[in-house]
């Protein structure tokens, strides 16, 4: 079962934003991907959700287009072990959901890139998830 973000989840998960060199101060770095739940039961139909927030306001960012993703087991030293990720509809503002084949319990790294309305630079981030046995 999925849980809401807990203290443990905050400790277990992190988000990274990368900004291309030369980017002005305002830009893609104003946005952050956060895990909605950092633990998910492993399985071929595992559902994963990330929240996209504008760090300046703390508000959720809706209507972003997620156009590349990668899911691999880098946190467990298996970067070569990748899996498929399917986008699901955004049903809640700023919450982006995916279905992934998390075939193995353990740590998974989810890399997300997004186009945000009004933001010319690509927003990139990653979250670390733990697939439970
Ligand atoms: Cu693995």
Query: Mind listing the pLDDT tens digit for each residue in 14-39?
Result: 444 444 444 445 689 999 999 999 99
21 in a domain, yes or no? no
2 in a domain, yes or no? no
CA 51 to chain centre: 7
16 in a domain, yes or no? no
8 in a domain, yes or no? no
Distance of CA 60 from the midpoint of ligand 1 (Å): 32
Write the burial class of residue 82 (CB in 10 Å: 0-12 exposed, 13-18 middle, 19+ buried).
middle
**According to the model, what pLDDT value does residue 68 have?**
72
**According to the model, what pLDDT value does residue 12 have?**
41
Distance of CA 12 from the midpoint of ligand 1 (Å): 18
Span 74-83, pLDDT tens digits? 999 999 999 9
Distance of CA 78 from the midpoint of ligand 1 (Å): 6
Site of tokens 């946005």: 31
Predicted confidence band at 6 (pLDDT cuts at 50, 70, 90)? low
Distance of CA 81 from the midpoint of ligand 1 (Å): 6
Whichever domain contains 41, its CATH number is 2.60.40.10
12 in a domain, yes or no? no
Neighbours of ion ligand 1 (CB under 5 A): 73, 78, 81, 104
Span 66-116, pLDDT tens digits? 877 899 999 999 999 999 999 998 889 999 999 999 999 999 999 999 999
* Domain span holding position 103: 28-132
110 in a domain, yes or no? yes
49 in a domain, yes or no? yes
7 in a domain, yes or no? no
Model confidence at 52: pLDDT above 90: yes
Q: How many domains does the chain have?
A: 1
Could you give the C-alpha distances from 94 to 62, 73, 83, in angstroms and in order?
4, 25, 24
Distance of CA 73 from the midpoint of ligand 1 (Å): 6
Distance of CA 115 from the midpoint of ligand 1 (Å): 30
**According to the model, what pLDDT value does residue 90 have?**
87
Distance of CA 75 from the midpoint of ligand 1 (Å): 9
Write the burial class of residue 65 (CB in 10 Å: 0-12 exposed, 13-18 middle, 19+ buried).
exposed
**According to the model, what pLDDT value does residue 17 have?**
45
């Amino acid at each position: 079962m999925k849980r809401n973000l807990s203290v443990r989840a905050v400790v277990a998960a992190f988000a990274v934003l990368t900004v291309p060199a030369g980017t002005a101060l305002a830009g893609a770095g104003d946005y952050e991907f956060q895990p909605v739940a950092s633990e998910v039961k492993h399985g071929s139909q595992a559902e994963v959700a990330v929240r996209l927030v504008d760090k300046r306001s703390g508000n959720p960012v809706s209507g972003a287009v997620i156009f590349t993703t990668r899911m691999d087991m880098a946190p467990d030293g298996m970067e070569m072990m990748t899996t498929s990720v399917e986008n699901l509809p955004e049903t809640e503002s700023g919450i982006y959901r995916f279905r992934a084949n998390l075939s193995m319990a353990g740590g998974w790294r989810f890399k997300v890139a997004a186009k945000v309305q009004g933001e010319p630079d690509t927003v990139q981030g990653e979250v670390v998830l733990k697939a439970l046995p």
